[in-house]
Homo-oligomer: A and B are copies of this chain.
Amino acid sequence: MSTEPTASGHEAASPAVDPPAWLQRIKSNYCRVCGSPLKLLKPDGEREWRHVCGSCGYVDYHNPKLVVGCIVEHEGKILLCRRAIEPCRGLWTLPAGFMELNESTAAGAARETWEEANAAVKVLAPYAHWDIPVIGQAYILFRAALAPPYTFSSGSESLEVALFAPESIPFDQLAFSSVSITLRLYLEDLRAGTFRLHHGVIDKRPGSQPNDPGAFVVRDHMALELGGASATAAGPGVQEQ
C-alpha cells in the first residue's frame, strides 16, 4: 500500500479557516480540569484545531479508541456471541470491547471474552488490525484457544454464546463490518492452510448502520504471510517467545 502524504502529510487537509465539521460535532464544551468553557482554536505551533480551555490552557485532545477482542477456536469451531445490547442487538459478534487503561491489548481481549462469554482463553497471536477512521476506532483481534475448563455461557451483554463450524457462521446476521471482514479472511486462511496477519482500513459511509451491506469498503489491506504457521482452527501455529 502507498501512504505518500500530501503536502500537509494528511489524508485530508485541515480547512484553513474553520474547524472541520466532525470536530465541531464533538461535545467538548467545558474543561475537565477547571470547568471553564473550551474554545476551538489552533494553538501556537499546531496544525490542528483543538478544544482549548480559555482559563487554565488545558487542551482536550480527542484520540482514536482501541477495541480489542478474540477469535476463539475450540475443536475446529469458532465462538460467537449474540448481542443483548444495542447497537445490533440480536446479531452475532466476536467477543470484543473497548480497551481499558492499565491493561494490555491481549489482556483486554481476554477480559472482554470473559465478560461477554464467560470463557477463559489462551491468546495465541494477533490476527487483524482494522482502523475505522469515521468512528474513531481501531480494532485489534487476536486468535485464541478456549482454555480449561473449556466452558462458556452468556455474559450480561450476550443473549447467547455458541460455537460455529466454519461453514455455519451466520454471515447474514453478523453485527459489525470489522467482524464480518475478519471472519471472511479467517475462513480464507483456514482454507489456504496458513494464517496471515491482516492490517487495513475500513471506510464506512458516514451515518450508515453498523453492518449495512455496501456501507463499507476495506482499503490499504496488507496481508502478511506467516511462515511456519499451519492454520488449523485449534492449533497455536505461531512462534511464541
Using CB atoms and an 8 Å cutoff, list the residues of chain A in contact with chain B.
Answer: 1-5, 8-12, 20, 22-23, 27-35, 37-38, 45, 47-48, 60-66, 98-107, 109-115, 120-123, 125-126, 129, 131, 133-134, 136, 138, 140, 147, 156, 194, 196-197, 199, 201, 220-229, 238-241
A136 nearest in chain B by CB position: B101
Given contacts A29-B35, A222-B240, A225-B239, contact A9 B110 (CB under 8 A): yes
A197 nearest in chain B by CB position: B197
Given contacts A64-B99, A107-B3, A138-B66, contact A32 B29 (CB under 8 A): yes
Asked if B223 and A226 sit within 8 Å, CB to CB, the answer is: no
Q: How far is the CA of A150 from the CA of B109 in the complex (A)?
A: 40
Asked if A101 and B64 sit within 8 Å, CB to CB, the answer is: yes
Partner of A129, one of B126, B156, B226: B126
Contacts of A105 in B (CB 8 A): 129, 131, 138, 199
Contacts of A22 in B (CB 8 A): 101-102
Partner of A221, one of B12, B109, B115, B241: B241
Most B Cβ at <10 Å: residue of A22, A102, A133? A102
Partner of A31, one of B23, B30, B101, B147: B30
Contacts of A129 in B (CB 8 A): 105, 126, 129, 140
Q: How far is the CA of A131 from the CA of B140 in the complex (A)?
A: 12
Q: How far is the CA of A41 from the CA of B240 in the complex (A)?
A: 39
